[in-house]
Amino acid sequence: MHNGSWALQLGAILLTCAEAVAAQQAPKPKDLPEAPVPKQEQAPHKHDNAFRTTVEVLGRRSVFFPDLAASPGPLETKQKLELFADKSIAPSRLLASSISAGIGQARDSLAGYGQGMGGYGKRLGSSMASGVSTEFFSTFLFASVLHRDPRYFVSLRGGPWHRIGYGVSRLVVTRTDTGTESANWPGMLGPLFAESLANSYLPVKEQTAGRTFRRYGIRLGFTAGTNIVKEYWPTIFRNLRIAKIVPGLNPNSSPTGPRPTPPQHFLP
């Protein structure tokens, strides 16, 4: 009996040891594969939102003439500053300065700059500088202070003489931030301040009152001609069967009346 009792105790000990070993070899919970986590839809990055907003803004503007109005609402001060920057580097600005420098080269105006590529480069630089300063005073500074809308609102109604007269009249008449018409003081004062500032970098012979007002008159005349081109700019592309890229301006609407919000299309 003593030997049988000892054998039972030994068997119990071996069974206990076997269970302990088996428990140590069993996979631990941390070794088990993790349960799959459902994929969450990632929110769009801030960069993607900014890019999308930029595309939408470009889709409502003209690249060649950024100041063509494509919406009836007024501009905030920040938007007028952005419009000044857009107009300063627009293709129309670069083309106008290039032509102006070429004409000045051919007529040997600003004789102090000389001839050749060096003279043309100086004329081009001074024309660009005068154009940028004009846009700063007209499109941003005075337009913000006097609450004027610096954009060009196309008439799209009447015959050629009516539309040409309307374009020329935008020299002295403009739209206010409240949607009414008033004197275009930014358009008249801006070029004068710009040409006065130009006396700081133009040749000495150009730094007289007479020469300053002469350049001022030429700039106003050039602006009137540009307004006529802007007046017909959407019509040109509509007649070329590219109406999808023309802003949604109503041909029967008044130049000063409210205009419908344009579609998200692109105007050259």
pLDDT (tens digit per residue) in 238-266: 665 444 444 444 444 444 444 443 333 33
- Residue 79 has a CB neighbour count (10 Å cut-off) of 15
Residues 6+ positions from 259 with CB-CB distance below 8 Å? 69, 71, 72, 153, 248, 249, 250, 253
217 versus 108: the higher-pLDDT residue is 217
**pTM, entire model:** 0.65
Q: From the centroid of its chain, how far is CA 88?
A: 11
Query: What percentage of the chain carries pLDDT values higher than 70?
Result: 65
107 versus 30: the higher-pLDDT residue is 107
